[in-house]
Amino acid sequence: MGLSVIIIALDEEQRLGDCLASVSFADEVIVLDSGSTDATRDIAAAHGARVEDAADWRGYGVQKNRALDLATQDWVFSIDADERLTPELAQSIRQVMSAVGGPDCYEMSRSNYFCGRFLRYSGASPDYVLRLFRREKARFSDDLVHERVVCDGPVGRLEGKLLHYSFRDFSEVLKKVDGYSTASARQALEAGKTATFGKAVARGLWTFLRTYILRRGFLDGAHGFAWAVSQAEGTYYRYLKIWRGSTGAGDRQ
């Protein structure tokens, strides 16, 4: 059985090459470009990926399902441009390809990089994500943001880590806090949800306490504190935007 790797990308010239190198064993790699103006498409082609276009952005879930529809192999692995497979995880995927029977979908542990180091606690580790599945057994939810794989069958667990270089510096943290809070607020408003200023404050405070205390973010030192603050900010601004009923266009990758 073969493996298709699917990636959605927008202006990812700085990170895409390492991502593609880590999945070079796949039978096909599909990069669905969302209208890049940098060298993303050229880098993808240089690594032997099949490059397709879908610039009419309708959210992460829709875009990933579009990429999924382009896959031709029996198994699919979904990876983001800021993620990398460790050799151990790549080997685990190869073993699934050669095995007979077993689950239809697999999750794996993801390690999240935050401004200079990988977090060990803070709710950022272990962070299990479902990424490998039989093509006919799963789809992505159509959520605008925080989409998930919906699997029609049993789920197994792979050995090895998926490395997530999500936040390279604090400027990127601020950019993503704004973008994801906007997309989440828009999704909530479309579902008819409302919020108040008090709820924004309470939810933001609860997110900080949950991340820093309950999820032991304090064990990650200063980085754990900064991570907890960024998580709280994302929640706070999401509810503020719901309260004001106002979202901008900052919800793309």
- Which two three-digit tokens encode residue 70? 């382009």
pLDDT of residue 187: 93
Q: With 80 as the cut, is the pLDDT of residue 88 above it?
A: yes
1 within 8 A of 77, measured Cβ to Cβ = no
Query: Kind and range of the H or E element at 51?
Result: strand 50-53
Q: Are 109 and 130 in contact (CB under 8 A)?
A: no
- Residue identified by tokens 């607020």 is 185
- The phi-psi region of residue 138 (left if phi > 0; otherwise alpha if psi is between -120 and 50; otherwise beta) is beta
> Is residue 118 within 8 Å of 112, Cβ to Cβ?
yes
Q: What is the pLDDT of residue 250?
A: 41
How many residues are there in the chain? 253
- Model pTM score: 0.91
Nearest one of 243, 239, 234 to 180, comparing CA atoms = 234
pLDDT tens digits, residue range 156-201?
Answer: 999 999 999 999 999 999 999 999 999 999 999 999 999 999 999 9
What is the helix (H) or strand (E) element at residue 190, kind and residue range?
helix 170-190
- pLDDT of residue 1 exceeding 90, the answer is no
On the question of pLDDT at 59 being above 80, the answer is yes
Instruction: Decide: 109 and 161 in contact? Cβ < 8 Å.
Output: yes
- 108-147 pLDDT per residue, tens: 999 999 999 999 999 888 899 999 999 999 999 999 999 9
Indicate if the pLDDT at residue 252 is higher than 80: no
Mean pLDDT of 89-108: 94
Do the beta carbons of residue 63 and residue 6 sit within 8 Å?
no
pLDDT confidence band for 247 (50 / 70 / 90): low
